[in-house]
Amino acid sequence: MTDLITSEPAAMPADWTVRSPHRIKRARAETRFRLYGIVAIGIAVAFLASMLLTIFIGGAGAFTTSKIGLDVTFNEQVIDPSGARDPASFRGVNYRPLITGALAEVFPDVEGRQDTRALYKLISTGAVYQLENMVTENPDIIGTTQRVWVSAGTDTNLYLAGKIDPDMPQELRQLTERETGWIETLKSAGHVKTDINTSFFTNGDSREPEQAGILGALMGSFFSLIVCFVIAFPLGVLTAVYLEEFARKNRLTDFIEVNINNLAAVPSIVFGLLGLAIFLNVFNLPRSTPLVGGMVLALMTLPTIIIASRAALRAVPPSVREAAYGLGASKVQTTFHHTVPLAMPGMLTGTIIGMAQALGETAPLLMIGMVAFIVDVPTSVVDTATSLPVQIFLWADNPEIGFREMTSAAIIVLLIFLVLMNLLAVILRKKLERRW
Amino acid sequence: MTKSLMLSGAMILSAAFTMTACSGGDAPAQSTKADTKPEATSGGRDQIKIVGSSTVYPFSTAVAEAFGKTSKFKTPIVESTGSGGGLKLFCSGVGERHPDITNASRRIKTSEVELCAQNGVTEIVETKVGYDGIVFANSRKAPQLNVTLQQIFLALAKDVPDGKGGLKPNPYTRWNEIDAGLPNDRIEVMGPPPTSGTRDAFVELAMEGGCKTFPSIAALKSSDKNTYKAVCHSMREDEAFVESGENDNLIVQKLNANPKAYGIFGYSFLDQNSGQVQGATINDVAPTFENIADNSYPVARSLYFYTKKAHVGVIPGLQDFLAEFLGNRASGPDGYLADKGLIPMPQAEHEAVEAATLALTPLKMK
């Protein structure tokens, strides 16, 4: 002890104002390392920004759509020749003459089958269903003339959004000179307006970009996640509680633990194959349904939930358990009255993150037939359905140019849901977490 | 105070979660069992299921959508599994668990008919949908290519004739090494993977078509069929030919970004993206609607779908769906499928196919 003290004064106290070569070198290394860090972050941020930017620029167009205003005369002769006003008879009527009639009012000089056909193509093929719905909802409009805003056709939409280059030679464009002329005429006469694309949020899939919507995929994802949660959450939490609180430490539990950790790293397509082999081929569950999709996703998220829940349980200080034992609580009482509630925020956070991962999964759904063209919006877990990422995959593969912005728009919707789920996880953690 | 409030809040929330989780866990599981059981025994599926080729998918879905909107039946669901995968599912058996229709961008093989028969699928109705051309396309920013089938073979084959009656590994890296008239660019072609029907058809029509123009190889056809096939059907595996997945749209976008590259895909994608890409003329024939329809374009194939006869009358609406698909409104010369890029059959052939299909004439392999 004394040695140390006596030897100290021998060395001169370091003079921190002198910049020795060694210290300059050290300071430079420090600055350099900070620079590396900033550059690394900068590159990552630039990638993220450029990705988001392309998606948002590409997808923004899909949220608005062009509508064409037609003065449709709801001709009684066409809709209800008998005059009985039977709502059932309004379905299945060919409403096309009403639209061609309204178009003929604007373009009286267009005649002949080929030309009227070309003119009709400016309007979406879904317009007839819009008229059908109007008549069914309100039969009183029969016999009147109304300004109806119908969706523009696929190519009209592209042209009005500026996606068709008017300088390109005619034969290479989707629309001829004459057809763009018609659109310009409609535009100058005030028959064109830009509107929010509500059908994007209310329709199922379609082969026409202007009629295709995300709702079917959204509901499919929703039902799959419900099934996934209902299976994976109780199973995961119970497994974690048993392994952490009740199980003895021995070879068997070690083996199980290693396996759970390994399962978390298994590629998701493997779970899809498992689902195909077991749920579809052995249990004969219905193909292409959110029920099976949710079960497969549950297998995939289970390890994530178990690992997160065990970590949350481990974070509860032993003093809480000991205090409960000291007051005479049994093991089950201690666990379910004290430990699990305290660990619940961590468990929920882990679950939500696992579910967000499941929301973005496509590969396992490939194997169980959820990658399909499905128009009807599912209403239960046993209806056939797709999911959000699958819809993106399918739209990206469609030949029509209009689907490109639909793809980006669907990605935006998926990203919004992912951000919301992760935000929920963060808020739950911040609000409910206790620190010791 | 706030802490204990928060804690009790957390407990209530967690309890609620676990309770809903537990009760919810039982309810759907039971109800689905109740729902599916009778279905499985009585064959009560009320929705047509279609699987198969990604090339026929755009047409099949268009018909499915129109059928769902105009008939009283549910919209059929269409899965894109590839021709081979579709036929495998299709041939796995009869009953509501198995698909009713499979699309194919090539004809069914004898081995597949046998597989079907093994699983009890004995009566299959074959329907030709129309024609599709396979295009060899590049970006509009570059000049249009004019090639022969032989040049395509030389550019893309694994082994090419060495001029002495034997074979040598493909030495060509630039187009103008094959023929001075071709551009002085690196050979860079993107095409579908071997699982794709488009690849099968391209290999059979373009590669083999170019291959047999060499007398030495053509002679092999009768003497040593296996070697002939191996030589003519092998694509090179170096960087000159890149397998770009089943996504034809992606190939179109890549061509746009790289004007020196070429892509292999179906005519419908050329048709929809004609502003960005152009098809090479092959043996001096351009890939146009008319040339594919009258069979003068050399790389054109027929598209098919196959229907299980045993399902007609069991799955509601199947017969009506066939009628919709083969009606003039859909696959006729002016039908909506032509707008989607299908090349329809001539009127007489269309009528014959329609009659045979609606009469459910089963397929006979020759």
> Over the stretch A316-330, which tens digit does the pLDDT of each residue have?
999 999 999 999 999
Residue A436: predicted pLDDT: 64
Contact B36 A233 (CB under 8 A): no
- Over the stretch B68-77, which tens digit does the pLDDT of each residue have? 888 888 899 9
Residue A402: predicted pLDDT: 84
Structural domains of chain B ordered from first start = 49-131+303-358 (3.40.190.10), 133-301 (3.40.190.10)
* Segment B45-62 mean pLDDT: 89
> What residues contact residue B47 under an 8 Å CB cut-off, 6+ apart?
A384, B73, B74, B75, B76, B77, B315
- Over the stretch B262-272, which tens digit does the pLDDT of each residue have? 999 888 888 87
Q: Is 80 exceeded by the pLDDT of residue B234?
A: yes
CA triple A78-A80-A84, angle to 5 deg: 165
The residue among A434 and B135 whose pLDDT is bigger is B135
Q: Is 80 exceeded by the pLDDT of residue B93?
A: yes
Residue A92: predicted pLDDT: 65
Cα–Cα distance, A40 to A34 (Å, whole number): 10
Residue A13: predicted pLDDT: 63
Q: Is 60 exceeded by the pLDDT of residue B15?
A: no
The residue among A119 and A170 whose pLDDT is bigger is A119
| Residues 82-111 (B) with a CB less than 8 A from some CB of A | 97
Q: What are phi and psi of A258, to 5 degrees?
A: -60, -40
Question: Which chain A residues have a beta carbon less than 8 Å from that of B32?
Answer: 285, 291, 381-382
SS3 content of chain A, % helix, strand, coil (to 5): 65, 5, 30
The confidence band for A289, taking pLDDT boundaries of 50, 70 and 90, is: very high
Q: Does the beta carbon of B246 lie under 8 angstroms from any beta carbon of chain A?
A: yes
Mean pLDDT of chain A: 87
B49-52 and B262-266 beta bridge pairing = unpaired
> Where do runs of H (alpha helix) occur along A10-121?
21-60, 76-79, 87-90, 96-106, 113-120
Q: Which of B60, B65, B273 sits opposite A375 (nearest CB)?
A: B65
- Measure B138 CA to nearest chain A CA, in Å: 15
Q: Does the beta carbon of A229 lie under 8 angstroms from any beta carbon of chain B?
A: yes
- Of A175, A176, A157, the C-alpha closest to A68 is A157
- Of B55, B146, B299, B98, the C-alpha closest to A286 is B98
Domain positions in chain A:
64-197, 215-432
Contact A172 B340 (CB under 8 A): no
Contact B69 A129 (CB under 8 A): yes
Residue A33: predicted pLDDT: 95
Contact A375 B75 (CB under 8 A): yes
| Percentage of chain B lying above the pLDDT 90 cut | 29
Q: Does the beta carbon of B32 lie under 8 angstroms from any beta carbon of chain A?
A: yes
Helix (H) or strand (E) holding A366: helix A363-367
The confidence band for A90, taking pLDDT boundaries of 50, 70 and 90, is: confident
Q: Is 50 exceeded by the pLDDT of residue A339?
A: yes
Q: Is 90 exceeded by the pLDDT of residue A116?
A: no
- Of A299, A310, A410, the C-alpha closest to A350 is A310
B124-139 and B262-266 beta bridge pairing = antiparallel
Residue A171: predicted pLDDT: 62
Contact A373 B273 (CB under 8 A): no
Contact B21 A345 (CB under 8 A): no
Residue B28: predicted pLDDT: 37
Q: Is 60 exceeded by the pLDDT of residue B202?
A: yes
Question: Which chain A residues have a beta carbon less than 8 Å from that of B25?
Answer: 230-231, 234
| Percentage of chain A lying above the pLDDT 90 cut | 41
Contact A394 B80 (CB under 8 A): yes
| Residues 259-288 (A) with a CB less than 8 A from some CB of B | 284-288
CATH superfamily, with its number, for domain A215-432: MetI-like (1.10.3720.10)
Residue A260: predicted pLDDT: 92
Residue A386: predicted pLDDT: 92
Among A178-192, A313-327, A358-372, B37-51, the range scoring the smallest mean pLDDT is B37-51
Buried b (16+ CB within 10 A) or exposed e, A179-210: bbebbeebeeeebbeeeebebbeebbbbbbbb
Residue A162: predicted pLDDT: 80
The residue among B105 and B7 whose pLDDT is bigger is B105
B101-104 and B277-279 beta bridge pairing = unpaired
> What residues contact residue A375 under an 8 Å CB cut-off, 6+ apart?
A204, A205, A206, A216, B64, B65, B68, B75
- Over the stretch B207-224, which tens digit does the pLDDT of each residue have? 988 988 888 888 888 888
* Segment A126-142 mean pLDDT: 84
Determine the length of chain B: 366
Q: Is 50 exceeded by the pLDDT of residue B36?
A: no
Contact B35 A226 (CB under 8 A): no
- Over the stretch A238-269, which tens digit does the pLDDT of each residue have? 999 999 999 988 999 999 999 999 988 888 88
Question: Which chain B residues have a beta carbon less than 8 Å from that of A129?
Answer: 69
B189-191 and B262-266 beta bridge pairing = parallel
- Measure A206 CA to nearest chain B CA, in Å: 7
